[in-house]
Each structure stands twice: as structure tokens, then as C-alpha cells.
Amino acid sequence: MKRKPVHIRSFAWMKSRYVNIVLTAMLRFTLAVGVLGYASASPLVHYPFSQPVFQNIDDEEQIINGVVTSGLVSQNGVLWLTTQSGLVEYDGYHFSRYKHKKDDLNSLPGMYIFSIAEQHSGLIWLATRSNGLASLNPKNGKITRINTTTLPAKLSSDSLRSVFVDSQQAVWVGHDKGVNKLDPTGKTSQQYPLPHNLKGVTYSIFEPSPNVIWISGTYGIVEIKNNIAQPIEAVAHLNVRDIIADKQGNYWISTHRGMWIWDGKTRVIAPKNIPPAAQKSYFRNAVLADDGTIWASNYGKGIWLFDADSQTFLRQFVHDPSNISSLTFNDLGKIIKGPDNSLWVGSWGGGLQRLDLNSTGHFAHIRHSLMTDIGLSNGNIRAVATLDNGHWVFGSKNGGIDVFDPSKGKIAHISHTSTGEELTSVISLTQDSNGRVWAGTHAQGLMQLDIPNNVAVAQNIEGLQSVSLFRLLAMRDGRIAVGANRGACVIDADLTRCDFINKPDNQPLLDSITNLYEDKFGNLWVACHLGLFRLKPSATLFEQFSAHNSNISNNYVLGMITNKKDGLYVITSTGFDEILDANADTPQFLDRQHTMNLGAAKPGGNALVDKSGRLWSGATILEFDKRKLHQYGADEGADIGTAWLGSFAQSHNNTMLFGGTRGVLVVEPNGYEAPVHNSKIVIRKWLQGGKTVTVPTNTVPILESNGRAFSAQIAAIDLVYAKHITYEYRLDGLDTEWQTLDENSRWISFTNLTPGRYQLEVRAKYNVVSGNIAPLTLPIRVMPAFWQTQWFKLLVALSIILLISALFKWRIDIVKARAKYLETLVGQRTQELAAINKIGRQFTSHLTLDEVFHDIYEHMAGIACADTFGIGLIDSDREHLIFEFATEQGVRFDTYKRSLDNRGQLAVHCAIKNQSILISNYDQQFDLYHPNPDSAKHTLSNGQTGAQAVSMIYVPMSIQKQVIGVIGMQSFRENSYSKNDITILETLASYAAIALANAKSHQNLIEVHDQLKVSVDQLKATQEKLVMQEKMASLGHLVAGVAHQVNTPLGISMTALSTLDESFKALEDDFNNNQLKRQTLEGFIDRYQQAHALMTPNLHKTAELIQQFKQVAASSNDTQVSHINLPELCNQVIAVAATQAKSQNVTLCLDTQTPQVIYANTNSLNQVLLILINNALQHAFKSQSNKEIRLSYYISDQRLIIRCQDNGQGISPERIDKIFDPFFTTSIENGAIGLGLSIAYNIVHQHFNGTIKCFSELNRGTLVEVTLPTDTLLQKPAS
């Protein structure tokens, strides 16, 4: 129902602010005194601040103005509601309304219905306010009226207030003049007026024991026994509206002023603890629940809950404008109890609601309410925790933190930090072993709660700034584990830092954490979108378990919980797994989703285990022993909106708490049993001959021969789960397979049934809950018409036999003659077809067009007259029909073409229409295809013009339903061709089309082959040229670097040598002039020694650089495997590239110095490493200051991994997949041609049988990883 707004202004007393204050005070009083009754009664979970779920029922606008006056759940499970606007029926699928229609005696006598009752036969009795009584037969919709004028049954008044069916099935009707009693058939009526001049209206009728009736109303209670009516003095002062009996034999009386308890004799008392104001209010009715509680409706004050055993008032439930699952209206009509322990609450303006009593002893809700200060401050609960002292803590999205005492409600609210800052989104909570309570926030970091002072104290912990703390876990060693939006960490014991834990590859986790759990072995388990991670107590890196390296059902892990042994249950986004040993080196994940036959259903991520070993979440219960997963929600009395992942906790006494967008669900799991729903399939409506008839129950429907059809609407009546039932049906005797039924209409229809006996079978099952639905089986008989009887069929059969016998001989003679003719014809046609097939195979053996043309012509001329013969092919643009081969009496025509737009030419017509043409006389028959004759003339090779033919055939040639050309034959004589010639030519045309297509394809293939050969040669030349350019460019980088390195020591040596040369010349002059002195000679020797000391190391350095250059730049054609000292080789490559790196202010270093000897081709490995470093120098850096290129290597899993990593600008995702492609470069403006990494890729794959990969992140750098198998690298080659 589209709920109409409730206009409180229509009730004048609600305008008073005083009344609102009184209601609030009564509610608080109710919560306070209600706790006293919980020791003896448990209809709701034992928390006075909690609320049940009153589920709003959409009545499809059939409950006019939202007013429900009364109702019942019938024996077949249908809900009937009486209203001020007719009778409303609800079968779990749809609401339908019976109305009063003027001049229609088969409609209700009036619209305002006050009361309703049902007999065992299923007949419904209705008491109207001013139009008498009516009975309704739901099986056929028939309505019978009884009032003050009907005979023989006659009422004393038409103004009725109550109707009741006693144990003898007699019908009692209450009104303003006492009561009338009707016999079970409704045929006779007896009046019982009020005794002793009592006056008033009879509102209720009750049967305390067989043959005793209590009628009650404004006059108290009157007992009718042995046809004598006597007032009961003890309750004469009460203005009664309803009476029920409890299990102790006491009677609960709803009156116009309060609720009263009567022992059936003289004692009348009020329930204990009931507020005095309640005993001045209007109680409509009450019902007794299965657990011994009394639920009473009140006009103006909602629902009142009592414990029948202790006769104590427990709770009051009223409309709360801030709680969508509260009562919609405080003005209640009557409460109706269903057989499934549901309460259907009808209000006086707020429509219909439902309360599931099966769950009220186990489920309750904590809501945000504007009517009490002990509820939640904010209903959007993101975090939940239970404390050692039994208190509960709730963190909300925008309402701070609430602390609850389960026996009192909210006792503290923390809305600000110690610095006065408002506490915003709290998303995680925990209490450590020291009793400290911690809160994680979305953007304010970690807080320690000072609950006595109602403040949160911010913690300055290194590593937790600017992260969202999704999960907190107090570990057994006293530390706090943190799950954040970019990984997980553990806060140290000093509460100073929280270092994030890296993945097995020592890279950051960088993912949002969904769950944290510590197993019995002290292992920390972390769940996220990348799988499951484990941190052992002494480890520093995570172990990772994902769908890639283990058999976990999905990488997106939602939750974990112990399996009460040595393992864990793991809930993922698509499955449910179990780890038997959480401490195993390689944990095994078992697929419980399939082994327990759960289908597509799975447990929720907020997993908790109760004492019975059942696995709970905020919406599911998994029973391992029964292998059943139960789902529960608003229908079962649990509704917290959207549950938040991670918002759950479990107290020491096993109470479970689940947070969501609309509050907290409190679950007491002990003793809870998921209800098993039972129903049966019934026929709701039955149509025969297009008319509604009485629904067959104990009779076999008989369909007459003129109406061999029926329609049945079926339903398994379930007022809660009807729309979650799947139906299948079949008509035994007609169907062998079960058919699925439309769940909305549920109509089964069969028409034109053949006479015979059938059986309609319908079965059903629940989709979301456990239950049993009894199937429906209904025998059906279809009667035959006279011509469908056995005797008529026998007579017709004998007549047919005689007729057949007479015709048989006549037919045999015709068949013999026909067979002889066909035998001759078949022989002739077989010979022709054999010849044609032979010719066709010969056609397809040719591979040139000219051979095919001549072969087709020679064979066609041998079969039929071919004065003129031609083959036309449609060009590639499909614009012209080109005749390259055409002949007239052996003389070739010059090639000619015909436009396909010229439909007047028969050859074109044949090709366009894909239709064969046969002309016996052209002048007389051409207008069958075109109004004007074809006047085109064509020239023969001898220069003459072709003659006009008289007879002609045109046949299309097709391949795969596409016309490729036309074959034409012409004769200068009339009637030269027959239909048989058409058939022969069509067959040969099929072979000819294949032969022509093959020849043309062969010709095209030769041309394409020649073109491709030229293109390949050109590409090879171009590629070799570009590869050589890249090699020369790389060699240029090497030569430039080496030249720079050699230039400096050589320059120093040349300078020293020049100085020494000048000294030697001076010495020589002194010697020649006999002026040489000892001092001069000693000076020369000293300068010589200085020059020698300067030149010797520089020349050695030059020799060493040249040797390194020779090793790096050696020819790649050398494939010899040699001994390689890996760190020495890496240092040599770095030395060669050092000059260019220094010019770019780039630091080159080798991170790994571990000795490692391998056996490989030195030149190839040199070239790969140099390409990687040069590529990084050329492309990695732009403007950043700290530039590094780092080489490293290590051996793992029989693989040598060599890494070249820079901290440069990185590579964009759209480019990284292309960097190993030839000629791909990101620096084309610098002259790069993009072959360096391609060459390295080929060397790694072809020379070493390895792999090379690139990983990059923008503004973070690039890592190139070369992986080489060690099966040959570590083995010394044979000498």
C-alpha cells in the first residue's frame, strides 16, 4: 500500500504539547518498570531500550483510509480484514476487496464491517455496522444476506458490533438489543435480549466452556447458559470490548477504561506495574502469544505487553516518527494472531503491520529515537565492540560514540576529542588486554576513549597519519593490530609507531583491509581484496594466499572466524572456505560452499559462532550438522538497513551485535530455532467454460464435450513467504514433463482436451526459507462427444475398410503402369546425371580461367544446341556483367560488358533475380521479362556483328547463395530447349561456378603471393637497416663514454710527456755544449721520476678501460659459453656507462655484492645489461633531483632474477604493454628509434630461454626484471 500521510491534526487532543510530554514520560516509565518483568517473561530480548520490527504491509490501496476494524486468519491461511469500506482478502500475493454494490444481491449488504468469524466449513460471517449480517462462501464467492426482514432467519437489529462461531458451529450475533443465535446452517434464528432491563451494545462474544456463552459490552458481561441469560456482578461495572483466557485460567478483559484480569469468579485486578494513565485509556482487544505473553491493542496508546504468568505489565510500543519500523499509528483497531505466531496489527488510520513473534525472544533492535535519551545518538552504526565490564560501545558515522549498559540503555556519549574537536566518522572499536578502549576513525586517526569524562583522546602514532582505520584488533600480547585503507600494521608496545607490513615480495600491500583475526597460534590474518594474508609471530613479511597460488574461492575476502579447532572459516565475495590447520606452512582451503550444497547462497562476512557451533551473520545462520543456510531479515523481525562490513561483536555471554545504517541488531542465539514453514497448495479459483464455478475440493471435475477446457488459479497460502515460492505443474495423461508456473498469476489453463481421465498435479518449494508444501492432486474427467465414442469410431472404421478395399485394386493397376514408366525415366535421367557429374568434376580440375571457359563451352555444345554461347561474370564492384568468353558458331566475340542497372537485358535479369530464363520464341516472349526487346549488338573477332537468336537459356551461377555470373546458350531455331535442358544447365552451372571461382582465386593468389614476396623483402631490408642503426647508436654511446674516460688519463700522460720532452731537450743542449752539470742531471732525473709516477697509473687505467670496452662491445655473433663472475660483470657495465650517467647527475650502483658464478655467453649478457641502463638514462628522468639507477640480482626457485630499477618519471599504463615492441619509443624527439628493449627482449628469449618484464608506476619509477632459468646457468659446460 502507498501509505497515506497520517494527519495528526484530525485528532484534536494530539495538538496539545502537554499530551506529547505525557506520552514521553509514559514511555520512559514503561522502559523502567518493564525490566522488572523480564525475569519471568521473555517475549523481547531482555533490554528495555530495544525495539521489535513492526513490518509495514503494502495493502495495494485496498484498505481505504488505512482503517482496520477487525480480522482473522482463516483455516486455509488467508488473512481477512474488515474495514469501513468493505471486506479485504490477502493470500500472501495480492489484496482484493469485496464491496457493496447497489442492486447486486451477491455483494456485501454494507461497506462498514465491524466483526468477522469463520465456521469449520470455511464459511465467513460478517457483521456490518448498520446493514445486518452476511455470509461469504470463498469457494464460489456467493454472499447471503441476513437482516431484520429476512425469513426464516431474522435478526433483532441490523446495527451489529460482533459475530462469533461457537464450538457447535452456531453463529452468535451481537448488537444494541442483545444477541441473536443462528443454527450452523444459518436457516433459523433465536433472540437473547439483555436481562434485568440492561441496556447497551454487545461488542464481544466469548465461549469459556462448551454450552456456555459470555456476551459483553457497555453493560459488563452476561452469561447465557441453558438458554438463560444472567449478568455477572463481579464485572458489571466494566465497559467491555474483548475477553481472552490465559493458560492459568484467568481472563484478560479489554475495556473502554483499562485492562483488567478476572479470575472468573469475584476477583478483578489491574495488571502489576501498569501506569495509572493506562487504566483510563481504551483497550480494543488482546491476544495470547505462544510464550505466554499478552499483546493488547489500545486506541491512542499503541500496543501494551503483559506477562500472563506474573500478571505484570512489561512494555509499551508506540509510534516513533524517527523509527521506520515502529508502529505507524497509536490508534489501533484489533490485533490478529496467525497460526505461524505472527501478529497482524490493524490501526485506525495507519493501515496494516506485522510482527513476527517467533523472533522477539531472540532478536531486538537498538534505534536512534527522538522520544528517548537512552537510545542511539545516531542510527548509522559503523563500529561495534563489547567491553570486559559487559558494556557495549557503538561508533557511528556522524554521531560520535555511545556506551550502553545492557540493563539501562545509553549511559555515556562521546562526541568530541580532548581538544574540543568534533568526533566524526568512527569506523572501528576494540578494547585491549589492559582495559583501554580504542577507536579508529575515517580521518581523525586513532583515539583512546576516556569514558568517565566523555572524551576521546587523539594518539600521535607514527604511520597512522592520513589513513582511514577500518579495523582494530586487540591481540593477546597486548598490541593493537590496525587495518587501514592502504594495508595493515601493528602498533608497538610503546604506542609510538605502527609500521605497515609488506607483502612477500617486500612491496607495500596498498589495499583496504576488510577484516583482522588472530588465531590460536598467534598468527595475524588480514583480509582484503587481494586475498588472505598471514603474519606469523616472528615474521616481518606477510604470506599471501590468493586464488592464484591457492584454491581460495575468491580474492575478495569478507570475513574470518575460528572453526573451534585449529583452523578458520573464510567467507569471500563468492564462496565459503575452511582452513583445517591455520598454522600449516601451506594451508589448504576446502570449498565448503559446494560440499555443503549451499548453492548460490553463502554466509555473511560479519561471522560469529554460537555455543551450538552455528555460524551467524547479520542476515544468515549456517547449521553445519543440517547443511542448511537460513536467511533472515525484515520478514523474520530483523532489520538494520544495510549492514556495515566489520560492524559486529560478541559478548562473553554469547550475545551478538550487528551494526547497520538503521541501528543495531541484538541477537540472543541460544535456543533459537529457524522456523520450518508448512503450507499446502489449494485451488483459489476454478473456471470452466470461461465461467467461475465452485472450487472443486472433494469432487472430480467433469468437463463436457462442448467445454473441454479449464483454468485453475492455485496458491500455497503463506502470508509472509508466498512470493518466494516456486511452482511446477503437469497434467498426467497429457504432460510428461513438469512445467514452471508464473509466480504472479499462478493460473493453469488447458484447452481442447481429448476425452479421457486426467490428473492435475502441482508441486511447490520455498526459495529462501526452510519448509514443506503439500502438493495438490486433482482427478479430472473429460467427457466425449457422440462422434468420439467407441461405437461410432468402430462404425466409421468398418466403412473405411470397405472403401479402401474397393479402391485398392484400382490403385494397384495405376501404380504398376506408373512404375514401369518411372523405371524407364529414372534410367535415362541417371545416365544424364552421371555424365553431368563427370563433366562437372572435369570443370573443377582447371586452374586458369581460359581453360575453364573452353572446357565449359565444348561440353555444353555437345549436350544441347549452342549456336551462341557465353559466360558473363559480375565484376568486383558488382556494377557490370562482363563477358570475357562468348562465341557464335565457333567465332569469339570481343569482350563486352552489360550494366546491372539495365534490367531489360535477359542476362542481367537472370543475375539480378537469381532466376533461370527459358525463351522458346524471343519475339513473342521477351515482354514476359521486359516491355522492350534488347537491341544491343556485339562484335565478333572477325569484325562482323552477331546474329539475333530465337531460342535461348540463361542460368545464374552462384556460390554460397551469391550470384557470381551467368551462363547463356542461344539457338537460331524456335523451341530448341526444354525444361530438362534447364535442369542440366543449372547442374553444370553449379560446377562451373566452383571451377570459375577456383580459377579466379588461384589467379588472385598468385598475384597476392608476388606482391607479398616483394613487401617481405622490402620489410626485411628496412628492419635490418633499423637494427643496425640502433646497434650503431648503442655503440656510439659506448664509444662516447669510453672516449671521455680515456681522454682524461691520456691528457695527463701527454702533459707529463711534453714536460719531460722539454727537459730532455734542455739536457741534450747542455750536453752538446759541454755545459752539463750534476745539478742539471739530477733535476732531469727527478722530473723523469715524477712524470713516470704520473703516467704509469693513468696509462694502466686507459688500458683497463679499453679492455672493459672490448668485453662489452664484443661481437654478438660470439655464442661461446664462458665462466662469468656476475658482480664483476655488473660493475664493468656500470663503469662503461658511468660517464653518461655522471653527465646526467644519475647515480649508478649495484645493490647486490653476493658472489655468484654463472656460465653463459658474456657478450649477450653484457649487451642486455647495457641496453637496460642506457634505456633508463635516455628515458627515465626529466627534472627530478635525486636520480638513481640500481642493478641487483638474486636466485629464487631455480631462476636467476636480474633487476634494473630507476626512480624516474615512470611509464603510463597505456604505454607499458608496448615498450618491448620494435620501433616503439617515448623519446622520438631525441632521435630514439625504439629498438633497444626489443633487442634485449629477443636476446633474453632466444639466447637464454628466459623472460623480461617491466613494472612501472607514474612518478614512482620503473623496474625491468630479467628472469633466466638456472638449469644451464649454474652448470659448468663440458670442456
Write the CATH number of the domain with boundaries 1115-1279: 3.30.565.10
Task: Report phi then psi at 1040, rounded to 5.
Answer: -60, -45
Binned at pLDDT 50, 70 and 90, residue 575 comes out as: very high
Q: Is the peptide bond before 152 cis (omega within 30 degrees of 0)?
A: yes
Please report the DSSP string for 173-193 in residue order: EEETTEEEEE-TTS--EEEEP
Binned at pLDDT 50, 70 and 90, residue 541 comes out as: very high
- Number of Cβ within a 10 Å radius of residue 1033: 17
Per the CB < 8 A criterion, the answer to whether 1 and 58 are in contact is yes
Q: Give the C-alpha distances (Å, rounded to integers) separating 1213 from 529, 1205, 1218, 1256, 1257.
A: 21, 17, 10, 8, 8
Write the CATH number of the domain with boundaries 68-231: 2.130.10.10
Interval 1109-1167: pLDDT, tens: 554 444 345 568 888 998 989 998 888 888 888 888 999 999 887 888 898 988 888 88
How much is the pLDDT for 1025?
65
Scored b (16 or more CB within 10 A) or e, 687-726 reads ebeeeeeebbeeeebebeeeebebebbbbbbbbbbbebbe
Q: Does residue 931 or residue 727 have the better pLDDT?
A: 727
Mean pLDDT of the chain: 86
How much is the pLDDT for 266?
94
Interval 1184-1206: pLDDT, tens: 888 999 999 999 888 999 999 99
Stretch(es) of the chain classified as CATH 3.30.450.40: 867-997
How much is the pLDDT for 1109?
55
Scored b (16 or more CB within 10 A) or e, 534-552 reads bbeeeeeebbbbebeebeb
Scored b (16 or more CB within 10 A) or e, 183-222 reads eeebeebeebebeeebebbbbbbbbeeeeebbbbbbbbbb
Binned at pLDDT 50, 70 and 90, residue 1 comes out as: very low
Binned at pLDDT 50, 70 and 90, residue 19 comes out as: very low
SS3 221: strand
Per the CB < 8 A criterion, the answer to whether 953 and 860 are in contact is no
How much is the pLDDT for 551?
86
How much is the pLDDT for 43?
34
Stretch(es) of the chain classified as CATH 2.130.10.10: 68-231
- Number of Cβ within a 10 Å radius of residue 12: 8
For residue 360, give the nearest of 338, 339, 341, 345 by alpha carbon.
Answer: 341
How much is the pLDDT for 833?
59
Element (H, E) at 621: strand 620-623
The model carries a pTM of: 0.61
Cell of 415: 562526541
Stretch(es) of the chain classified as CATH 3.30.565.10: 1115-1279
Which range of 255-259, 703-707, 1065-1069 scores highest in mean pLDDT? It is 255-259
Q: If you average pLDDT over residues 196-205, what whole number do you get?
A: 92
Cα–Cα dist 672/628, whole Å: 15
How much is the pLDDT for 41?
35
Decide yes or no: CATH 3.40.50.2300 for domain 677-788: no
Element (H, E) at 667: strand 663-667
Q: Give me the residues paired with residue 1237 across strands.
A: none
- Number of Cβ within a 10 Å radius of residue 873: 22
Q: Give the C-alpha distances (Å, rounded to integers) separating 790 from 703, 797, 943, 999, 1200.
A: 18, 10, 86, 70, 91
How much is the pLDDT for 1031?
53
Stretch(es) of the chain classified as CATH 2.60.40.10: 677-788
Range in 474-483, 872-881, 1188-1197 the model is least confident about: 872-881
pLDDT of 18 > 80? The answer is no
Cell of 1275: 652448470
Which residues, 6 or more positions from 796, have their beta carbon under 8 angstroms from its beta carbon? Answer: none
Binned at pLDDT 50, 70 and 90, residue 1022 comes out as: low
Interval 907-960: pLDDT, tens: 888 888 888 989 888 888 888 887 777 777 888 888 888 888 889 999 998 888
Instruction: Find the farthest-apart pair of alpha carbons in the chain and give their distance in angstroms, rounded.
Output: 174
Q: Does residue 113 or residue 360 have the better pLDDT?
A: 113
Q: Does residue 1046 or residue 124 have the better pLDDT?
A: 124
Q: Give me the residues paired with residue 192 across strands.
A: 179
Binned at pLDDT 50, 70 and 90, residue 828 comes out as: low
Which residues, 6 or more positions from 1243, have their beta carbon under 8 angstroms from its beta carbon? Answer: 1116, 1164, 1167, 1168
pLDDT of 13 > 60? The answer is no
How much is the pLDDT for 1079?
80
Interval 284-321: pLDDT, tens: 999 999 989 999 999 999 999 999 999 999 999 999 99
Cell of 108: 456485501
**1011: Cα within 13 Å, side-chain hemisphere:** 6
Q: What is the CATH architecture of 867-997?
A: 2-Layer Sandwich (3.30)
Which residues, 6 or more positions from 2, have their beta carbon under 8 angstroms from its beta carbon? Answer: 58, 61
Interval 427-464: pLDDT, tens: 999 999 999 999 999 999 999 999 999 999 999 999 99
3-state secondary structure string across 927-961: HHCCCCCCCCCCEECCCCECCCCCEEEEEEEEECC
* Chain centroid to CA 309: 49
Cell of 573: 565475495
- Number of Cβ within a 10 Å radius of residue 1259: 9
Cα–Cα dist 711/689, whole Å: 9
Query: Alpha helices, DSSP H only, in 1073-1125?
Result: 1078-1112
How much is the pLDDT for 692?
83
How much is the pLDDT for 1060?
77
Binned at pLDDT 50, 70 and 90, residue 372 comes out as: confident
End-to-end CA separation in angstroms for the chain: 93
How much is the pLDDT for 1237?
86
Scored b (16 or more CB within 10 A) or e, 414-452 reads bbebeeeeebebbbbbbbbeeeebbbbbbebbbbbbebe
Element (H, E) at 1047: helix 979-1072
Interval 1172-1183: pLDDT, tens: 999 888 888 887
How much is the pLDDT for 5?
35
pLDDT of 615 > 90? The answer is yes
Cα–Cα dist 1039/1051, whole Å: 17
pLDDT of 1279 > 80? The answer is no
Helix, strand, coil in percent for the chain, rounding step 5: 25, 35, 40
